[in-house]
Amino acid sequence: MAKIFYSMAGEGRGHATRVRAVVEQLRRRHEIVLYAPGDAHQLLAPIYEGTDVVVRRISCLRFSYTQKRLNPIATARDGARYLMRLPSLVREIRRDVDRESPDLAITDFEPALPRAAKAAGVPFLNLDHQHFLVYCDLGCLPPSLRMHAWTWGKVVERYYNGQVESVISSFFRAQLKRRLPEPVTQIGVLLQPEILAAKPHDGRGLVVYLRKFASKALLSALQSIGRPTRIYGLGELPSQGCLHFRAVDQARFLEDLAESEALVTTAGNQVVGEALFLGKPVLAFPESNNYEQSINAYFLKQAGTGDTADWRRVGYTDITRFLDRLGEFKAKIDREALNGNPAAMEAIERLLPREQSRPTASVLASV
């Protein structure tokens, strides 16, 4: 049995969802300590309370929104404040590293644990989505997106360094660059046990997943469609005709998704990948000024497994056009390629001390 420290970013549910998918396989054979901030801690702490998985709360960088748009200036300002506090957080985690001697550290786009592990001589694995901006050749993007991809790639590149290997989890594949500083592996989406066990079927209705807010145009368009629509992310509110607003509930969301026709959502990598694995086409709305999501949406459309729209101006025609093409989108979904769990386990076990690592055949068979 090895000891693994595992940290993640705390904005949204994607990072925590990826981490849980990995932890549910690792915990059978290894001791796991999670460093979870923000939304990630809120999701994971109740799940692992009273179990052998330790969850420790840390601070994190948060995105700032102004008038329902991502505010890059405010986010950068808050980021500067976070970076000023980062050295003390690194020292705190370093004390844990020195005291508990983990065999491996893993990070999903969180900078403190990698710095502490590197300083203590503990190898760390980078396992996230965001590093596609660093390691993939994105010359295929439209010029405006290409420029933003280059800029944000430089930001991601500076977030931390020194990883012994990088694993990129995405619902799409982009060409890797020719020269890379460390081994890089592209895998599919990291899937939770509930998704792997789900038996999806075609229902009549949509599932909508949003982040904090929705445009009036979107809600009006969904109302006009008339299909039963379950909306997550806006809180539990009184129903409005065919629109049913539900509190965030992971199990209920996945159950509704498995029984739906399609997903309407922001263009986060994790939720899009989960829906596609369940055979559900996706209509994605990148958040304003969120260029990572804009790139995700571009690759979704290029793959032919869904479509995109501007959430501020989406209307009845956009949604009906998407629904009319559901059969075409479904035919292009490759569910097997979307499961990144086996490849992630192989990468992690490969980096553990040989005497601590056990064969993964039983694990791979279960996914």
pLDDT at 76: 59
Q: How confident is the model at residue 311 (pLDDT cuts 50, 70, 90)?
A: confident
pLDDT at 358: 44
Within this chain, do residues 160 and 283 fall inside the same structural domain, yes or no? no
Secondary structure letter of residue 136 according to DSSP: B
pLDDT at 62: 58
Within this chain, do residues 64 and 167 fall inside the same structural domain, yes or no? yes
pLDDT at 192: 93
Within this chain, do residues 222 and 316 fall inside the same structural domain, yes or no? yes
pLDDT at 215: 79
Say yes or no to pLDDT of 47 above 90.
yes
- Section 1-7 average pLDDT: 96
What does the pLDDT look like over 104-122, one tens digit per residue? 999 999 999 999 999 999 9
Arithmetic mean of pLDDT over the chain: 89
pLDDT at 19: 96
How many domains does the chain contain in total?
2
**At 151, which CATH number?**
3.40.50.2000
Within this chain, do residues 186 and 271 fall inside the same structural domain, yes or no? no
pLDDT higher at 313 or 46 = 46
Q: How confident is the model at residue 29 (pLDDT cuts 50, 70, 90)?
A: very high
- Section 303-311 average pLDDT: 93
Tokens 């996914």: give the residue: 367
Within this chain, do residues 325 and 343 fall inside the same structural domain, yes or no? no
CA distance linking residue 233 with residue 306, whole number of Å:
21
Within this chain, do residues 183 and 249 fall inside the same structural domain, yes or no? no
Say yes or no to pLDDT of 17 above 60.
yes
Within this chain, do residues 308 and 282 fall inside the same structural domain, yes or no? yes
What does the pLDDT look like over 193-231, one tens digit per residue? 999 999 998 888 999 998 767 778 889 999 999 999 999
Within this chain, do residues 178 and 278 fall inside the same structural domain, yes or no? no
CA distance linking residue 339 with residue 346, whole number of Å:
13
| Residues spanned by the domain of 173 | 3-191+339-366
What is the share, in percent, of the chain residues with pLDDT greater than 70?
89
Within this chain, do residues 183 and 223 fall inside the same structural domain, yes or no? no
Within this chain, do residues 43 and 170 fall inside the same structural domain, yes or no? yes
C-beta pairs of 240-244 under 8 Å, 24+ apart in sequence: 243/219
- Section 322-349 average pLDDT: 97
DSSP labels, 141-176: S-HHHHHHHHHHHHHHHHH----SEEEEE-SS--PB
Which two three-digit tokens encode residue 38?
A: 């923000």
What does the pLDDT look like over 222-278, one tens digit per residue? 999 999 999 998 989 999 999 999 998 888 999 999 999 999 999 999 999 999 999
| Least confident among 66-70, 134-138, 147-151 | 66-70
Largest CA distance in the chain: 61
Say yes or no to pLDDT of 365 above 50.
no
pLDDT at 56: 97
Within this chain, do residues 144 and 220 fall inside the same structural domain, yes or no? no
Q: How confident is the model at residue 367 (pLDDT cuts 50, 70, 90)?
A: very low
Q: What share of the chain is helix, strand, coil (3-state, %, to 5)?
A: 45, 20, 35
Within this chain, do residues 160 and 257 fall inside the same structural domain, yes or no? no
